[in-house]
Each structure stands twice: as C-alpha cells, then as structure tokens.
Amino acid sequence: MSSGQSPAVDRQRTVRENVGLSGAGLHSGEPCEVIIRPADADAGIIFAINGEEIPANARSVTDTARGVSLGANGQRVMTVEHLLAALRGCGIDNARVELTGSEIPAVDGSSKPFVDAIVAAGTQIQDRPRKIYELREPVCVMSGGSYILAAPSDRLCVNYVMRYAHPMIGAQSFTFAFEQEAFQKDIAPARTFVLYEEVASLISQRLAQGGNLSNTIVVWQERLSCDLRYPDEFARHKVLDVVGDLALLGAALRADIVAVKSGHALNVELVRRLMELEG
Ligand SMILES: [Zn+2]
C-alpha cells in the first residue's frame, strides 16, 4: 500500500471535532454540560472538571450505586457509563471530556444522543495501534446470585442474563457480538429503567433527582411509562451498561462475557481484577 500502513492494524481513534451535549444529570438533577474534545494518541478518555483531570479507569471509581462515579482530589463526575459506552461503541480510544456540573447529562436515558453527536462530528484515525486486552484464562467475579465471567476470545461478545421477579420484566437475555454498527443500532438506543417501588427510596437517598419520564422508563406492576424501543430493551440496556463499565479498562477488551444479574459494582470489580492481572 502506498501509505505503508497495514490495513490489518486496528488503530486508535479520537473525535474529529468537538462534540457538545447538555441537560440535567439523572441523579443530581443539576444542569450539566459536556464537551468531548479530540485528544492525542495514548491519552485514553480523560474527564476534566474544575481543573482536575480524572482518567476513565477502574482506579478512579468512587461509587457504583445506581451508576458509576469517578473522582480525584475532591472532584467527581457521576453517571459516566452511558457516555463511556457511546465512546467505546463509536471506536473512540482518546478524548478529553470537559464537564460543567458534576454529572454526565442523562439525555434520553440511553447512549443514542451521544452516539449521534459523535457520528455527526466524525472520528479521526491516529498513528498508533489500538490498545487491546486479551485474557489468558477465564476470570469470574461473583456476589450472591450474581456473577460476571470473562473468558478468552478474539473479539468482545457480551451475553447478559437478567431475572427480575417482576411481571413487566421477568427473565430476559441478550447476546451482543461487539461491532460498531451493531452497537449503534441494537444497543445504544436502549434506555435505563427503574421500578416504581424503588423511586421513593432513591429520592430519599438523594439519587434520581433529575429522573423523569423522558430519561427513564418507569416500570409499574402492570404497565410501563412508555412504549419500548425493543421488546427486550431492559436486557439490551444491561449490555450497554456492561460495555460502558468495561471501558474503564482503558483498552479494547477481547473476551466472551457472560453476565448474570450483574450490576455496576460487579462489572467494575471485574475490570479491577483484569487490571491487576495485567500488572
Ligand atoms: Zn445504564
């Protein structure tokens, strides 16, 4: 090839131009704004808030209750997972995410508005090979009846199994072989949800202060607050959360993931274990 570059090498990418989104944070209820700026190769995803830079990796995680918060030196950014899923789903390895407020905007409860904005801005291929994480042997973390297993593979595939003792959810599963177009079509639009019975408790814990019917599917015993985008939207959203949480590895993971009823805490624990194994 005239460029001298092998097409087989998977190269790092950043956004081609700045991407801006704003809106209320799901938990804080505060008006928040993000600007996703291009970053150099090998920079990774960095959140910049009030002069502090917080790298998007599992070592920065400060909280996993109903969302993933990152922090450093007294600064924090809440609910990063849907934006991180969008960046990974668009193949973005490097970006500087500047934040006004303390939380990523909830947008519509999914990753789609982030994906649409990133796709509209375009991506820039960079002059370094993408960082890849491959396993030598299976790794599993578990807690109670939940677990998440990562097994060696030459690509990322996520199989999520959920079982809710709830008439509107029940047992659902979704298997997603990671591929950018498939992420954007099949996973990114899947929205977050909450059981109506949980709402009062979340609000008393100062969570979900910005939750409303335009950014969360509310699940009552006999109905939903809106029509679903997919019959199995809940399981797809759980896959979205896993993809976003796995982005805290700071590398593209090649593994078969089997997640049974796992949430952010367990997903992040898996990433910590993988980072420890890497040394
Ligand atoms: Zn989520």
User: Measured in angstroms, how far is the CA atom of residue 226 from the centroid of ligand 1?
Assistant: 17
User: Measured in angstroms, how far is the CA atom of residue 264 from the centroid of ligand 1?
Assistant: 9
Active site residue 82: no
**Sign of the alpha-carbon dihedral angle for 244, 247, 252, 254:** negative
Q: What's the pLDDT at 8?
A: 67
Given 27, 82, 237, 264, which residue is catalytic? 264
Q: What's the pLDDT at 115?
A: 98
Q: What's the pLDDT at 4?
A: 46
User: Measured in angstroms, how far is the CA atom of residue 238 from the centroid of ligand 1?
Assistant: 7
User: Measured in angstroms, how far is the CA atom of residue 195 from the centroid of ligand 1?
Assistant: 14
User: Measured in angstroms, how far is the CA atom of residue 8 from the centroid of ligand 1?
Assistant: 33
Residues with CB under 5 A from ligand 1 (ion): 192, 241
Q: Which token pair is 90?
A: 């668009």
Q: What's the pLDDT at 9?
A: 81
User: Measured in angstroms, how far is the CA atom of residue 65 from the centroid of ligand 1?
Assistant: 11
User: Measured in angstroms, how far is the CA atom of residue 243 from the centroid of ligand 1?
Assistant: 10
| Mean pLDDT per 10-residue interval, the chain, length 279 residues | 57 98 89 97 97 96 94 95 98 97 94 98 97 97 96 98 93 97 98 90 80 89 95 97 98 97 98 92
Please state the pTM of the whole predicted model.
Answer: 0.95
Q: What's the pLDDT at 251?
A: 96
Q: Domains in the chain, please, with CATH? A: 11-129 (3.30.230.20), 132-278 (3.30.1700.10)
